[in-house]
Amino acid sequence: MATITKRPGSGGKTVFRAEIRRKGYPKKIKTFALKRDAVKWARQIEREMDTGTWRDLKDADKYLLSDAFVRYLSSVSTKKRPTTQQRDKLSVKHLTKRLGHLSLVQATPAKVAVYRDERLKEVSPHSVRIELALLSNLFNIAKREWKVGNIDNPVSEIKKPKIPEGRCPILSNVQLARLMSECNNSKSEMLYPFIFMVLHTGCRLSELKQLRWSQVNINEGYISLIGKETKNHRRRNIPISEPLKKELLKLLEKVKTMDKHGQPTGLVFPGRDDPKKTLDVHKAFISAVKRAGLDNLPGEGRLRIHDLRHCCGSAMVMNGVDLETIRKLLGHRDISTTQRYLHVVDEHTKSAIDKISYLGLNNE
């Protein structure tokens, strides 16, 4: 049972001190102006202790989000891939700027919603969702693993920004040929084979930048992507087309590092100044896109490297490849992601129907 003690307070007023001592729990003491408030508080705490629902909010009251972010980066982010670690650091930078001064208790859904709305004025909905996902994960880990008080996840109670329909520009063969011609004329000799491989494999930029010769089996005709280096952490094999095989053989002639068995080693697309660093083709690609007249596509703006991955998926759909096969080749976790390419079927099927528009007509 709690002990309620009458004590002298400031200004000659009487206060009531409630003290709870319960085995297995820290001592709890709180002072009230009215005895009934002291009794009510004590009964509530004892009821929660009896039912096992009591949690000490003391830590959460003092635990600032800025400190929690530091701990998150050092204990959680470090277990992620380097690219994800960089993304986490950037998200934490923006979250700390506006929410870092709050404690874990003070970070209410209303305040997080204000953060969401302010950030939407500055960056895309996708970026805001990434930042909110980190904040949500932090609260879950703080409660589940760090054992910080009886805190609730404020992100779970607010509405997430809607993601607009993804980009999926369709390029004609003439446009693609013009692009590849400009890539071939680039000062960066690696730009053409790199972009050619994106078109012929549909691989993500990060997957090709990390690709090593030990993952390329030209004789068997496939590229093996390692699970931990793919977005969804799933291993997959990509067949090598004959045109791509020719480009890989050209690259192979330039490889200078071999293992003891005479097999090529190192990155397929090494950096220009350091073969151990990954290739950066962004500036060269932007220049090639501009020269090819693809820097202001209707409704899309400037063509991006990632758009060529979508071109690969769209081309497979138009040539009759089923969605499940495309999903596996592109490494989508869910078939709904692959279904974005279905919109090209409408134009493709219309073209097919136009070819048989003479049926049943008297054209004599």
pLDDT per residue as tens digits for the range 170-189:
788 899 999 999 999 999 99
pLDDT of residue 197: 94
Distance CA 282, CA 47 (A): 62
Q: Is 63 a catalytic residue?
A: no
Q: How would you list the strands of the sheet with 236-239, edge to edge?
A: 216-217, 222-225, 236-239
User: Of 63, 72, 115, 341, which is the active-site residue?
Assistant: 341
pTM score? 0.63
The residue type found at 347 is E
Burial class of residue 35, CB neighbours in 10 A (0-12, 13-18, 19+): middle
Q: Is 348 a catalytic residue?
A: no
User: Of 47, 93, 160, 228, which is the active-site residue?
Assistant: 228
State pLDDT tens for residues 48-72.
888 877 766 666 777 899 999 999 9
Q: Is 129 a catalytic residue?
A: no
pLDDT of residue 25: 74
pLDDT of residue 271: 87
User: Of 97, 283, 306, 333, which is the active-site residue?
Assistant: 306
Q: CA angle, 161 as apex, 302 and 132 as ends, to 5°?
A: 100
User: Of 204, 209, 310, 327, which is the active-site residue?
Assistant: 204
Q: Is 204 a catalytic residue?
A: yes
- 8 A C-beta contact, residue 190 and residue 275: no
Q: Which regions in the chain score pLDDT beneath 70? A: 55-59, 164-167, 343-364
Q: Is 200 a catalytic residue?
A: no
Q: Is 306 a catalytic residue?
A: yes
User: Of 116, 200, 236, 309, which is the active-site residue?
Assistant: 309
Name every residue whose Cβ is closer than 8 Å to that of residue 180 and which is 6 or more positions away in sequence: 192, 195, 196
